[in-house]
Each structure stands twice: as structure tokens, then as C-alpha cells.
């Protein structure tokens, strides 16, 4: 068993409840962790592993197409899509989604949700 992680993927999205978020969009950041349920055999072949390129591509496609209100829904969609890529060898997927600039009158670095499935 091992984990594959892709950290701080950044995308422009149109996700959010507020009209400004849907119209103007905003930067979000996604961390992805995929936990495998098989042992690496030591072979130097992609067939002996899972492709982080495929994980990145799927995540980008979901963010680009999504117009959901909640980042929780975005995280859920990412988890479901990644797990479907190889349900036999993927044990769990964890996603962190951060909004880097939220239209709230206050001082804070970002907002974030974490989901595991």
C-alpha cells in the first residue's frame, strides 16, 4: 500500500453561491491524495502503479466544467471520478479544496474543506 499525492493544483473556477463567484470566477487550490490497496512490486512500469497524470487531468476537467454552488460538491465529484478510474486498486481518495479569495469582508488566508471517500 502507498499513497499518491498531488499538492496545490490551482485552477480558475466558477464555483460558489454568490453571483460574483459564478460570473467573475475565482482561483481555487486542490490537494489530492489517492491511497492504494496493493503493494508496489518494484517494477519500473506504469502498469505497476497508478497515473498521477490521469488524476490531474480528471481533476482539471471536473473543475473546468463545474458550476456547482458548494466546494463540498466539487470535492465529492472529484472523489467519485478518481475512484472510478481503478476501483480495484484505489482504496480511498482524500481531497482538500481551498478558495483563495472569498468575497467576505474579513481578513483570512483562505477557506477550505476536506473530504475523504
- Across the chain, what does the average pLDDT equal? 93
Residues 79-89: tens digit of each pLDDT: 999 999 999 99
CATH class in words for 3-116: alpha beta
- pLDDT value, residue 49: 83
- pLDDT value, residue 15: 93
10, 29 Cβ separation under 8 angstroms: yes
Break the chain into its structural domains and give their ranges: 3-116
41, 89 Cβ separation under 8 angstroms: no
CA distance 95 to 109: 19
Find cell 508496489 and name the residue. 40
Q: Quickly state the pLDDT bin for 20 (edges 50, 70, 90).
A: confident
Cell of 89: 486498486
pTM of the model: 0.93
Q: Quickly state the pLDDT bin for 97 (edges 50, 70, 90).
A: very high
Amino acid at each position: 500500500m502507498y499513497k499518491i499525492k498531488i499538492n496545490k493544483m490551482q485552477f480558475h473556477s466558477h464555483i460558489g453561491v454568490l453571483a460574483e463567484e459564478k460570473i467573475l470566477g475565482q482561483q481555487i487550490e486542490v490537494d489530492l491524495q489517492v491511497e492504494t490497496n496493493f503493494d508496489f512490486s518494484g517494477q519500473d512500469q506504469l502498469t505497476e502503479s497508478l497515473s498521477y497524470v490521469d488524476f490531474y487531468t480528471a481533476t482539471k476537467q471536473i473543475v473546468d466544467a463545474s458550476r456547482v454552488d458548494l466546494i463540498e460538491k466539487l470535492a465529492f465529484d472529484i472523489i467519485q471520478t478518481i475512484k472510478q478510474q481503478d476501483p480495484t486498486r484505489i482504496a480511498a481518495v482524500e481531497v482538500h479544496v481551498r478558495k483563495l479569495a472569498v468575497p467576505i469582508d474579513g481578513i483570512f488566508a483562505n477557506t477550505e474543506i476536506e473530504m475523504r471517500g
